[in-house]
Amino acid sequence: MYGKFLTHMFACPFCSLHCDDLEISLEEQNLTSLFPICPKGINGFSNALSSLASNKKDKSSENWKEDWTRTIQLIKTAHHPLVIIGGGISYTAQRLAAALARQINAWADSPASLGGCALPWTAVEVGLTTCTLGELRANAEILILLDIHLEEDYPRFTNRIWRPGTQQPELLEINSHELFQITDQDPNEPLIKTLVHLRLCFSNFFTEPVIELCHTIGKMLDVSRGAIVFSSRLVSGGRMLTIELFGLLHKISVAHRCNWQALYLPGGSNWPGASQALSAESGYPCAVHFSPRQVKFSPIMYSATNLIEQNAPDLVIGVGDIGWLSTKALNRLRETPTIVINSVPLMENVGIWLPIALPGVDDKGIFLRADNVPVHLSPLIASQNPSAEYILQNIMEEFK
């Protein structure tokens, strides 16, 4: 495991694509190469490895003991705890976090509450028509990337979608800040050329014209299978927008008697796991209260952001990455007793940080890819850090 080695078919924890075709090499626990190259992956691995080295220095066993005692004490004395299930931890740990919330009758939430539970409510309002990455790869003739910054967020998206030796799907990126330019740019590009004639003008990206635009594209291209790919950027724009978007897909499908899907690429790694875990433990995807008699659901009242902004919880337990909370909520955490169980601290001077191993770096674990397909991550190196599962099981043991 140590010194120089090369691992084939390595899976990456750093975005929700969870690429499983990487070759990675380390020398003395330093990343020397990652192939195929992905800047975000390289960054993620390098940071994780270097913070691993520094954690070890920071977190002496005495500190651990002290933090552990305070953690148990805080949970024991809390009357209104909130458990937030984040990304960056394994699905098994996410299930345990939800089970802990149930055990201590806490509020519990997942990133599915973004944009006022946009995705779950879309299912109820207009339905969700979605598919796996490979389904797009095999069948989609066009992908419309709606407000997605591929380079930044999902650098290897196209590698995952394009199969060598086959026809590549048409790729149309529509980003809110570039929308004006699309109409008079690059007239040689066939798809854009057709758009030029539209002479569309948008005052607001998140409104009906975009929906019309997509509809028009569908009509113009007369494709029978396509997909709109979007991310948490769009979902966090609000519930109504997401509902409208799916309504559009439905319209296109009916108008063309074709299959249009949506693929939601959640921003954080293993976000789909968080909502699925909470759903399996509570019956609801997000924003629940495990009250003693029966679990209750209230997408507005019980969302983590809302609860923290209202100062409702007297203890917040963040399991995994909870950096997706609103800035206001994150700032509130400076005054609220908080326990963060994650591979990296949340912010300076926020609560107790119990460092854990990160699947894909110093732990194993299963993450759900953006399309809910499980991907197994293996450890690159060994570390002293306990797994999230270990910490959560021990906390639960204390409250049996």
Partner 1 sequence: MTIVLKGGQVYDPANGLKGKVCDLWIEGDRIVAPPQNPVNLTVIDARGWIIAPGAIEIHAHLGGQPLTMARHFCLSEEREASGWIPPTAEIATAYLRMGYTTLMDAAMPSLTSWLTHVDLQEMVGVDRGAYVLSGDHALVLEVASHGDQKTLREILAWLLVTCGAYAIKLTNPGVATLWRKRIALSSLNDEIYPALTQRKLIKSVASAIVNLGLPHPLHLHVGNLGQPGSWRNFLQTIESLERLPAHLCHIQFYLYDEKESGLLSSAVGCVLDQLVSHTELTFDVGQVTFGPTVNLSADVQLIEWLHNLTNKAWSYQLWEGEGAMAALPTQYFPDDPVSAIQWATGLELLLRFPDPLRLFLTVDYPNGGSFTAYPQILAWLMQRDARREMLKKVHTAAMSYCDLYAIEREYTLDEIITMTSWGPARALGLLDRGHLGIGALADLRCYKPQIDLVKMFSDPVLVVKNGQVTVREGKIENNLPHGKILLVRPPIDECVQEQTTQSFFRNITIPKVQYGLSMCGKELANIEVVSCR
DSSP state at residue 386: P
x/- contact string, 268-297, with partner 1 (CB under 8 A)? --------x--xxxxxxx--------xxxx
- CA atoms of 94 and 87, how far apart (whole Å): 8
Nearest CA-CA partner of 192 in 205, 208, 203, 179: 179
Task: Find which of ligand SF4, partner 1, none residue 20 binds, CB within 5 to 8 Å per kind.
Answer: partner 1
Range 168-197, binding partner 1 (CB under 8 A): none
Residue 180 CA to residue 331 CA, distance in Å, equals 35
Q: Under the criterion CB under 8 A, does residue 396 sit at the interface with partner 1? A: no
Residue 25 sits in the site that holds partner 1 (CB under 8 A)? no
Q: Which does 241 bind (CB under 5 to 8 A by kind): ligand SF4, partner 1, none?
A: none
How far apart CA 16 and CA 367 sit, in angstroms, is 9
The Cα–Cα gap between 290 and 324 comes to 22
Binding test (CB under 8 A) with partner 1, winner from 29, 105, 132, 175: 132
The interface partner of residue 38, options being ligand SF4, partner 1, none and the CB cut-off 5 to 8 Å by kind, is ligand SF4
- How many angstroms separate the CA atoms of 117 and 133, rounded? 23
Q: Which is nearer to partner 1, 217 or 375 (CB)?
A: 375
Could you tell me how many residues make up the chain? 400
> Closest separation between CB of residue 89 and ligand SF4, Å?
16
Residue 88, helix vs strand vs coil: coil
Residues that bind ligand SF4 (CB under 6 A): 12, 14-15, 17-19, 22, 38, 40-41, 44, 154-156
Rounded Cα distance, 400 and 99, in Å: 12
Cis peptide leading into 36, omega within 30 of 0? Answer: yes
Q: Which stretch binds partner 1 (CB under 8 A): 34-42, 68-76, 130-138, 203-211?
A: 130-138
Q: State the binding partner of 156 from ligand SF4, partner 1, none, CB within 5 to 8 A by kind.
A: ligand SF4
Other beta carbons within 10 angstroms of residue 228's beta carbon come to 26
Q: Does 216 bind partner 1 (CB under 8 A)?
A: no
Considering the complex, state which of residue 294 and residue 349 has its C-beta at the smaller distance from partner 1.
294
Stretch that binds partner 1, among 80-88, 131-139, 206-214, 327-335 (CB under 8 A): 131-139
DSSP labels, 67-81: HHHHHHHHHHH-SSE
CA distances from 378 to 27, 33, 359 (A): 18, 17, 7
Binding partner selected for residue 285 from ligand SF4, partner 1, none, CB under the kind-specific 5 to 8 Å limit = partner 1
Picked from partner 1, ligand SF4, none, the partner binding residue 15 (CB below 5 to 8 A depending on kind) is ligand SF4
CA distances 15 to 150, 243, 334, 358, 379, Å, are 11, 25, 27, 13, 17
Selected range binding partner 1 among 73-81, 117-125, 210-218, 337-345, rule: CB under 8 A: 117-125
Q: Which stretch binds partner 1 (CB under 8 A): 27-35, 78-86, 308-316, 363-371?
A: 363-371
Decide whether 18 or 256 has the Cβ nearer to ligand SF4.
18
User: Which tokens sit at 232?
Assistant: 């948490």
